[in-house]
Structure 1
Protein backbone atom coordinates (compact mmCIF):
# COMPACT_ATOMS: atom_id res chain seq x y z
CA UNK A 1 0.00 0.00 0.00
CA UNK A 2 2.95 2.33 0.61
CA UNK A 3 3.92 2.01 -3.06
CA UNK A 4 0.40 2.98 -4.10
CA UNK A 5 0.54 6.13 -2.00
CA UNK A 6 3.92 6.91 -3.50
CA UNK A 7 2.28 6.86 -6.97
CA UNK A 8 -0.76 8.85 -5.86
CA UNK A 9 1.36 11.43 -4.04
CA UNK A 10 3.61 11.77 -7.09
CA UNK A 11 0.53 12.47 -9.23
CA UNK A 12 -0.36 15.27 -6.83
CA UNK A 13 2.87 17.02 -7.85
CA UNK A 14 1.63 17.15 -11.45
CA UNK A 15 -1.38 19.33 -10.71
CA UNK A 16 -1.91 22.28 -12.99
CA UNK A 17 -5.14 24.29 -13.42
CA UNK A 18 -5.65 23.10 -17.01
CA UNK A 19 -4.89 19.48 -16.13
CA UNK A 20 -7.23 19.74 -13.12
CA UNK A 21 -10.08 20.80 -15.42
CA UNK A 22 -9.31 18.03 -17.92
CA UNK A 23 -9.15 15.34 -15.24
CA UNK A 24 -12.37 16.51 -13.60
CA UNK A 25 -14.03 16.46 -17.03
CA UNK A 26 -12.71 12.99 -17.81
CA UNK A 27 -13.92 11.69 -14.48
CA UNK A 28 -17.32 13.32 -15.07
CA UNK A 29 -17.63 11.44 -18.38
CA UNK A 30 -17.33 8.21 -16.42
CA UNK A 31 -19.92 9.14 -13.78
CA UNK A 32 -22.62 6.48 -13.83
CA UNK A 33 -21.13 5.19 -17.08
CA UNK A 34 -22.96 8.00 -18.90
CA UNK A 35 -20.55 8.18 -21.85
CA UNK A 36 -20.78 4.43 -22.35
CA UNK A 37 -24.56 4.32 -21.97
CA UNK A 38 -24.99 7.06 -24.57
CA UNK A 39 -22.61 5.27 -26.94
CA UNK A 40 -24.51 2.02 -26.41
CA UNK A 41 -27.82 3.71 -27.27
CA UNK A 42 -26.32 5.25 -30.41
CA UNK A 43 -24.93 1.89 -31.52
CA UNK A 44 -28.27 0.19 -30.86
CA UNK A 45 -30.04 2.74 -33.07
CA UNK A 46 -27.82 2.09 -36.09
CA UNK A 47 -28.61 -1.23 -37.83
CA UNK A 48 -24.98 -1.79 -38.87
CA UNK A 49 -23.74 -1.50 -35.24
CA UNK A 50 -26.73 -2.96 -33.42
CA UNK A 51 -24.90 -6.16 -32.44
CA UNK A 52 -22.03 -4.11 -31.01
CA UNK A 53 -24.59 -2.10 -29.05
CA UNK A 54 -26.16 -5.28 -27.68
CA UNK A 55 -22.75 -6.59 -26.65
CA UNK A 56 -21.99 -3.29 -24.94
CA UNK A 57 -25.34 -3.28 -23.13
CA UNK A 58 -24.80 -6.78 -21.74
CA UNK A 59 -21.17 -5.94 -20.90
CA UNK A 60 -22.15 -2.85 -18.92
CA UNK A 61 -24.81 -4.83 -17.04
CA UNK A 62 -22.29 -7.59 -16.23
CA UNK A 63 -19.83 -4.93 -15.09
CA UNK A 64 -22.40 -3.27 -12.82
CA UNK A 65 -23.20 -6.59 -11.18
CA UNK A 66 -19.59 -7.72 -10.77
CA UNK A 67 -18.21 -4.37 -9.70
CA UNK A 68 -20.93 -2.59 -7.74
CA UNK A 69 -23.07 -5.43 -6.43
CA UNK A 70 -20.45 -8.10 -5.71
CA UNK A 71 -16.89 -6.78 -5.39
CA UNK A 72 -17.15 -3.29 -3.88
CA UNK A 73 -19.20 -4.45 -0.87
CA UNK A 74 -17.23 -7.68 -0.49
CA UNK A 75 -13.80 -6.02 -0.51
CA UNK A 76 -14.96 -2.82 1.26
CA UNK A 77 -11.68 -0.99 0.64
CA UNK A 78 -11.61 2.56 1.94
CA UNK A 79 -10.55 5.28 -0.45
CA UNK A 80 -7.11 6.90 -0.44
CA UNK A 81 -8.43 10.33 0.61
CA UNK A 82 -9.89 8.71 3.74
CA UNK A 83 -6.42 7.44 4.66
CA UNK A 84 -4.45 10.54 3.65
CA UNK A 85 -6.76 13.31 4.80
CA UNK A 86 -4.19 16.01 3.94
CA UNK A 87 -5.18 15.85 0.25
CA UNK A 88 -7.84 18.31 -0.90
CA UNK A 89 -10.18 16.70 -3.39
CA UNK A 90 -11.07 18.51 -6.60
CA UNK A 91 -14.35 16.61 -6.91
CA UNK A 92 -17.10 15.59 -4.54
CA UNK A 93 -15.94 12.62 -2.46
CA UNK A 94 -17.43 9.34 -3.71
CA UNK A 95 -19.46 7.58 -1.03
CA UNK A 96 -18.94 3.96 -2.06
CA UNK A 97 -15.92 1.74 -1.62
CA UNK A 98 -12.72 2.00 -3.63
CA UNK A 99 -12.04 -1.46 -5.12
CA UNK A 100 -12.47 -1.90 -8.02
CA UNK A 101 -12.75 1.42 -9.82
CA UNK A 102 -16.25 1.53 -11.26
CA UNK A 103 -15.34 4.28 -13.73
CA UNK A 104 -12.46 2.18 -15.03
CA UNK A 105 -14.42 -1.08 -15.09
CA UNK A 106 -17.30 0.44 -17.07
CA UNK A 107 -14.86 2.12 -19.46
CA UNK A 108 -12.96 -1.06 -20.17
CA UNK A 109 -16.17 -3.11 -20.37
CA UNK A 110 -17.35 -0.80 -23.14
CA UNK A 111 -14.01 -0.75 -24.99
CA UNK A 112 -13.66 -4.53 -24.68
CA UNK A 113 -17.18 -4.99 -25.99
CA UNK A 114 -16.26 -2.86 -29.01
CA UNK A 115 -13.10 -4.89 -29.50
CA UNK A 116 -14.88 -8.25 -29.28
CA UNK A 117 -17.62 -6.91 -31.59
CA UNK A 118 -14.87 -6.24 -34.17
CA UNK A 119 -15.45 -2.47 -34.18
CA UNK A 120 -11.87 -1.80 -35.29
CA UNK A 121 -11.96 2.00 -35.37
CA UNK A 122 -14.31 2.58 -32.46
CA UNK A 123 -12.50 0.50 -29.86
CA UNK A 124 -9.21 2.25 -30.60
CA UNK A 125 -10.76 5.71 -30.32
CA UNK A 126 -12.62 4.92 -27.11
CA UNK A 127 -9.62 3.17 -25.56
CA UNK A 128 -8.08 6.64 -25.29
CA UNK A 129 -11.13 7.83 -23.35
CA UNK A 130 -11.01 4.75 -21.11
CA UNK A 131 -7.33 5.24 -20.27
CA UNK A 132 -7.80 8.95 -19.51
CA UNK A 133 -10.85 8.24 -17.33
CA UNK A 134 -8.91 5.58 -15.43
CA UNK A 135 -5.91 7.88 -14.96
CA UNK A 136 -8.17 10.72 -13.79
CA UNK A 137 -9.37 8.61 -10.87
CA UNK A 138 -5.82 8.35 -9.51
CA UNK A 139 -5.02 11.98 -10.35
CA UNK A 140 -8.10 13.01 -8.37
CA UNK A 141 -6.97 10.82 -5.43
CA UNK A 142 -10.15 8.75 -5.29
CA UNK A 143 -8.63 5.39 -6.33
CA UNK A 144 -5.50 3.41 -5.68
CA UNK A 145 -3.54 2.06 -8.67
CA UNK A 146 -4.68 -1.48 -7.83
CA UNK A 147 -8.29 -0.27 -7.94
CA UNK A 148 -7.60 0.83 -11.50
CA UNK A 149 -5.95 -2.49 -12.40
CA UNK A 150 -8.88 -4.36 -10.86
CA UNK A 151 -11.29 -2.21 -12.86
CA UNK A 152 -9.44 -2.98 -16.08
CA UNK A 153 -9.59 -6.73 -15.41
CA UNK A 154 -13.29 -6.63 -14.45
CA UNK A 155 -14.02 -4.47 -17.49
CA UNK A 156 -12.30 -6.81 -19.93
CA UNK A 157 -14.02 -9.81 -18.34
CA UNK A 158 -17.38 -8.02 -18.60
CA UNK A 159 -16.72 -7.18 -22.26
CA UNK A 160 -16.07 -10.84 -22.97
CA UNK A 161 -19.19 -11.87 -21.06
CA UNK A 162 -21.26 -9.50 -23.19
CA UNK A 163 -19.73 -10.90 -26.37
CA UNK A 164 -20.28 -14.49 -25.23
CA UNK A 165 -23.91 -13.93 -24.16
CA UNK A 166 -24.95 -12.17 -27.37
CA UNK A 167 -23.23 -14.79 -29.54
CA UNK A 168 -25.01 -17.58 -27.62
CA UNK A 169 -28.36 -15.85 -28.10
CA UNK A 170 -27.71 -15.31 -31.81
CA UNK A 171 -26.69 -18.96 -32.32
CA UNK A 172 -29.78 -20.22 -30.52
CA UNK A 173 -32.05 -17.96 -32.53
CA UNK A 174 -30.37 -18.96 -35.80
CA UNK A 175 -28.89 -15.51 -36.61
Structure 2
Protein backbone atom coordinates (compact mmCIF):
# COMPACT_ATOMS: atom_id res chain seq x y z
CA UNK A 1 0.00 0.00 0.00
CA UNK A 2 2.81 2.41 0.88
CA UNK A 3 4.48 1.74 -2.48
CA UNK A 4 1.20 2.50 -4.29
CA UNK A 5 0.84 5.81 -2.41
CA UNK A 6 4.42 6.76 -3.22
CA UNK A 7 3.90 5.98 -6.90
CA UNK A 8 0.68 7.99 -6.95
CA UNK A 9 2.44 10.96 -5.32
CA UNK A 10 5.28 10.76 -7.85
CA UNK A 11 2.83 10.44 -10.75
CA UNK A 12 0.92 13.56 -9.73
CA UNK A 13 4.11 15.58 -9.25
CA UNK A 14 5.43 14.40 -12.63
CA UNK A 15 2.24 15.60 -14.35
CA UNK A 16 2.50 18.99 -12.67
CA UNK A 17 6.17 19.49 -13.51
CA UNK A 18 5.58 18.87 -17.20
CA UNK A 19 2.94 21.57 -17.44
CA UNK A 20 3.23 24.32 -20.01
CA UNK A 21 3.95 27.77 -18.72
CA UNK A 22 0.68 29.24 -17.51
CA UNK A 23 1.59 32.71 -16.31
CA UNK A 24 -1.79 33.58 -14.80
CA UNK A 25 -2.08 30.25 -12.98
CA UNK A 26 1.54 30.44 -11.84
CA UNK A 27 0.94 33.89 -10.36
CA UNK A 28 -2.36 32.84 -8.78
CA UNK A 29 -0.79 29.80 -7.12
CA UNK A 30 2.18 31.83 -5.84
CA UNK A 31 -0.28 34.35 -4.36
CA UNK A 32 -2.42 31.62 -2.76
CA UNK A 33 0.65 29.99 -1.28
CA UNK A 34 1.82 33.36 0.04
CA UNK A 35 -1.51 33.82 1.86
CA UNK A 36 -0.70 30.66 3.80
CA UNK A 37 2.89 31.68 4.66
CA UNK A 38 3.04 31.95 8.42
CA UNK A 39 -0.77 31.78 8.43
CA UNK A 40 -0.83 35.43 7.33
CA UNK A 41 -4.41 35.45 6.03
CA UNK A 42 -5.68 33.56 9.07
CA UNK A 43 -3.86 35.89 11.44
CA UNK A 44 -5.46 38.89 9.74
CA UNK A 45 -8.87 37.29 10.20
CA UNK A 46 -8.03 36.54 13.86
CA UNK A 47 -6.99 40.14 14.42
CA UNK A 48 -10.26 41.42 12.99
CA UNK A 49 -12.34 38.99 15.05
CA UNK A 50 -10.47 39.65 18.29
CA UNK A 51 -10.80 43.41 17.79
CA UNK A 52 -14.56 43.10 17.31
CA UNK A 53 -15.81 42.19 20.80
CA UNK A 54 -18.81 39.97 19.88
CA UNK A 55 -16.46 37.69 17.93
CA UNK A 56 -13.48 37.79 20.29
CA UNK A 57 -13.86 34.14 21.39
CA UNK A 58 -13.99 33.06 17.73
CA UNK A 59 -10.79 34.96 16.97
CA UNK A 60 -9.03 33.49 19.99
CA UNK A 61 -10.25 30.00 19.03
CA UNK A 62 -8.90 30.38 15.49
CA UNK A 63 -5.61 31.68 16.89
CA UNK A 64 -5.36 28.68 19.24
CA UNK A 65 -6.03 26.29 16.33
CA UNK A 66 -3.17 27.94 14.41
CA UNK A 67 -0.80 27.61 17.38
CA UNK A 68 -1.71 23.95 17.91
CA UNK A 69 -1.32 23.17 14.19
CA UNK A 70 2.12 24.79 14.26
CA UNK A 71 3.24 22.82 17.31
CA UNK A 72 1.84 19.48 16.14
CA UNK A 73 2.65 19.77 12.42
CA UNK A 74 5.90 21.73 12.26
CA UNK A 75 7.21 20.96 15.72
CA UNK A 76 6.42 17.26 16.07
CA UNK A 77 5.17 15.36 13.01
CA UNK A 78 7.55 16.82 10.41
CA UNK A 79 10.56 15.96 12.58
CA UNK A 80 9.31 12.43 13.23
CA UNK A 81 8.47 11.62 9.59
CA UNK A 82 11.30 13.60 7.91
CA UNK A 83 9.86 13.31 4.42
CA UNK A 84 11.84 15.22 1.81
CA UNK A 85 10.01 17.64 -0.44
CA UNK A 86 9.42 16.76 -4.11
CA UNK A 87 12.04 19.19 -5.42
CA UNK A 88 14.63 17.59 -3.09
CA UNK A 89 13.98 14.08 -4.43
CA UNK A 90 13.69 15.10 -8.09
CA UNK A 91 16.37 17.46 -9.38
CA UNK A 92 14.32 18.14 -12.56
CA UNK A 93 11.79 20.16 -10.59
CA UNK A 94 12.21 23.92 -10.76
CA UNK A 95 9.97 25.65 -8.28
CA UNK A 96 8.58 29.16 -8.60
CA UNK A 97 8.96 30.18 -4.96
CA UNK A 98 11.73 30.21 -2.39
CA UNK A 99 12.60 26.63 -1.49
CA UNK A 100 11.15 25.75 1.91
CA UNK A 101 13.73 24.45 4.36
CA UNK A 102 11.51 22.21 6.47
CA UNK A 103 10.29 18.71 5.74
CA UNK A 104 7.28 17.94 3.57
CA UNK A 105 4.87 15.81 5.63
CA UNK A 106 2.35 17.09 6.59
CA UNK A 107 1.75 20.34 4.75
CA UNK A 108 1.86 23.08 7.36
CA UNK A 109 0.03 25.50 5.06
CA UNK A 110 -2.79 22.99 4.66
CA UNK A 111 -2.86 21.92 8.31
CA UNK A 112 -3.14 25.50 9.60
CA UNK A 113 -5.51 26.61 6.83
CA UNK A 114 -8.02 23.84 7.43
CA UNK A 115 -7.69 24.15 11.20
CA UNK A 116 -8.58 27.86 10.91
CA UNK A 117 -11.25 27.38 8.22
CA UNK A 118 -12.97 24.61 10.14
CA UNK A 119 -12.90 26.59 13.38
CA UNK A 120 -14.57 29.47 11.53
CA UNK A 121 -17.08 27.03 10.05
CA UNK A 122 -17.89 25.57 13.47
CA UNK A 123 -18.72 29.03 14.78
CA UNK A 124 -20.34 30.56 11.70
CA UNK A 125 -21.83 27.43 10.07
CA UNK A 126 -22.59 27.61 6.34
CA UNK A 127 -21.40 31.19 5.83
CA UNK A 128 -17.81 30.11 6.37
CA UNK A 129 -17.69 28.02 3.17
CA UNK A 130 -15.60 30.83 1.69
CA UNK A 131 -12.88 29.96 4.20
CA UNK A 132 -12.84 26.34 2.99
CA UNK A 133 -12.46 27.58 -0.57
CA UNK A 134 -9.53 29.76 0.51
CA UNK A 135 -7.95 26.86 2.46
CA UNK A 136 -8.39 24.59 -0.58
CA UNK A 137 -6.70 27.10 -2.87
CA UNK A 138 -3.78 27.36 -0.46
CA UNK A 139 -3.51 23.55 -0.31
CA UNK A 140 -3.71 23.11 -4.09
CA UNK A 141 -1.09 25.80 -4.58
CA UNK A 142 1.39 23.77 -2.54
CA UNK A 143 1.04 20.80 -4.89
CA UNK A 144 1.06 23.02 -7.99
CA UNK A 145 4.28 24.68 -6.81
CA UNK A 146 5.86 21.23 -6.25
CA UNK A 147 6.70 21.82 -2.61
CA UNK A 148 4.35 19.07 -1.36
CA UNK A 149 3.09 15.68 -2.39
CA UNK A 150 -0.63 15.00 -2.53
CA UNK A 151 -0.48 12.86 0.61
CA UNK A 152 1.14 15.77 2.50
CA UNK A 153 -1.91 17.84 1.60
CA UNK A 154 -4.38 15.10 2.54
CA UNK A 155 -2.67 14.65 5.91
CA UNK A 156 -2.71 18.42 6.52
CA UNK A 157 -6.40 18.52 5.64
CA UNK A 158 -7.36 15.67 7.99
CA UNK A 159 -5.15 16.92 10.82
CA UNK A 160 -6.50 20.46 10.46
CA UNK A 161 -10.09 19.28 10.70
CA UNK A 162 -9.34 17.03 13.68
CA UNK A 163 -7.35 19.70 15.49
CA UNK A 164 -10.03 22.35 15.14
CA UNK A 165 -12.90 20.00 16.03
CA UNK A 166 -11.17 18.73 19.18
CA UNK A 167 -10.26 22.26 20.20
CA UNK A 168 -13.82 23.44 19.56
CA UNK A 169 -15.18 20.66 21.78
CA UNK A 170 -12.66 21.53 24.50
CA UNK A 171 -13.47 25.26 24.35
CA UNK A 172 -17.20 24.54 24.59
CA UNK A 173 -16.66 22.13 27.47
CA UNK A 174 -14.60 24.70 29.39
CA UNK A 175 -17.06 27.51 28.68
CA UNK A 176 -20.06 25.43 29.76
CA UNK A 177 -18.61 23.94 32.93
CA UNK A 178 -16.24 26.63 34.12
CA UNK A 179 -17.67 29.89 32.84
CA UNK A 180 -21.34 29.34 33.74
TM over 0.5: yes
Distance 2:126 2:178 in 1: 26
Deviation >2 Å, runs of 4+? 172-175
Gaps of 5+ in 2: 1-5
- Correspondence for 1:173: 178
Contact 1:62 1:162 survives alignment (8 Å): no
Secondary structure in 1 matching 2:124: coil
State the TM-score, normalizing by the size of structure 2.
Answer: 0.91
Residue 174 (structure 1) shift: 2.6
- Is 1:53–2:87 an aligned residue pair? no
TM-fit CA distance, 1:69: 1.1
1:33 aligned partner:
39
RMSD, aligned α-carbons: 1.4
- TM-score using structure 1 length: 0.94
User: Aligned equivalents of 2:53 and 2:81: distance in 1?
Assistant: 40
- How many angstroms does 1:48 deviate by? 2.5
Higher relative contact order (CA 8 A, sep 6+): 1
Unaligned regions of 5+ residues in structure 1, if any? none
Displacement of 1:95 in angstroms is 0.2
* Distance (Å, rounded) in 2 between the aligned partners of 1:73 and 1:117: 32
Q: Match of 1:126? A: 131
Distance 1:150 1:15 in 2: 29
Q: Which moved more, 1:112-121 or 1:17-26?
A: 112-121
Cα 1:67–1:14, aligned 2, differ >3 Å: closer, same or farther?
farther
> Which whole-Å CA distance do the structure 2 matches of 1:72 and 1:3 have between them?
21
- What CA distance in whole angstroms lies between the structure 1 residues aligned with 2:94 and 2:7? 19
Give aligned pairs, total.
174
Contact 1:56-1:162 within 8 A present in 2 as well: no
